[in-house]
């Protein structure tokens, strides 16, 4: 087995373990937004589980309306799979909630010749949710292991 293949195999195993840990956490505390958000993040890593990722992120946002990052992540997944300007109203709503100056972003996009569609606005006006969650992922799963008694992936 090549080193790269071994790394990919280890990553797939780690991802499966993280998903199991997070699913167990949701079983124990189904109304905990951060569990749904973290599971959504791990499901976002595979093309065939993006719909489930979006469902968990939408649930996280429903449970924690005061955290617009969950909404931005769910809306980003929608915009990536359905580049439709009907999402612009949702982007504007999240911008108001997060106190993001969407008009300033629009002006900057116009000045550089970038489109002003929902996905471009999400990627340029808000904290990038994938990067944010990637930074928190390992610590969150380890914390969940301690809370739930489930085995974590590392």
Ranges of the chain whose pLDDT falls below 70: 1-9, 83, 137-138, 140-141, 144, 149-154
Q: What pLDDT digit, counting tens, does each position of 14-52 carry?
A: 888 889 989 999 999 999 999 999 999 999 988 899 999
Is pTM beyond 0.75? Reply is: yes
Cα 134 off chain centre by: 9
CATH number at residue 97: 1.25.40
Interhelix angle 129-148/68-81, rounded to 10 degrees, is 120
Which pLDDT score is estimated for 4? 39
Owner of token pair 């006006």: 125
3-state secondary structure the chain: CCHHHHHHHHHHHHHHHHHHHHHHHHHHCCCCHHHHHHHHHHHCCCHHHHHHHHHHHHHHHHHCCCCHHHHHHHHHHHHHHCCCHHHHHHHHHHHHHHCCCHHHHHHHHHHHCCCCCHHHHHHHHCCCHHHHHHHHHHHHHHHHHHHHCCCCCC
Q: Is residue 31 part of a domain?
A: yes
Q: Is residue 80 part of a domain?
A: yes
Q: Is residue 141 part of a domain?
A: yes
Task: Write out the residue range of the structural domain in which residue 64 sits.
Answer: 3-148
Which pLDDT score is estimated for 8? 54
Which pLDDT score is estimated for 153? 43
Q: Show the CA angle centred on residue 108, arms to residues 107 and 109, nearest 5°.
A: 90
Q: What total number of domains does the chain contain?
A: 1
Q: Is residue 17 part of a domain?
A: yes
């Amino acid at each position: 087995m090549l080193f790269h293949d071994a790394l990919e195999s280890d990553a797939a195993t780690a991802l499966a373990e993280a998903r199991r840990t997070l699913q167990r956490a949701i079983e124990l505390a189904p109304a905990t937004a951060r569990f749904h958000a973290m599971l959504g993040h791990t499901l976002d890593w595979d093309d065939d589980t993006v719909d489930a990722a979006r469902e968990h992120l939408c649930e996280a946002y429903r449970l924690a309306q005061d955290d617009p990052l969950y909404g931005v992540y769910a809306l980003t997944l929608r915009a990536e799979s359905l580049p439709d300007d009907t999402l612009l109203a949702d982007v504007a709503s999240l911008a108001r909630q997060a106190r993001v100056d969407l008009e300033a972003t629009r002006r900057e996009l116009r000045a550089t010749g970038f489109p002003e569609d929902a996905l471009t606005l999400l990627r340029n006006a808000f904290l990038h949710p994938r990067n944010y969650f990637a930074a928190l992922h390992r610590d969150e799963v380890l914390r969940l292991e301690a809370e739930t008694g489930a085995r974590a992936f590392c």
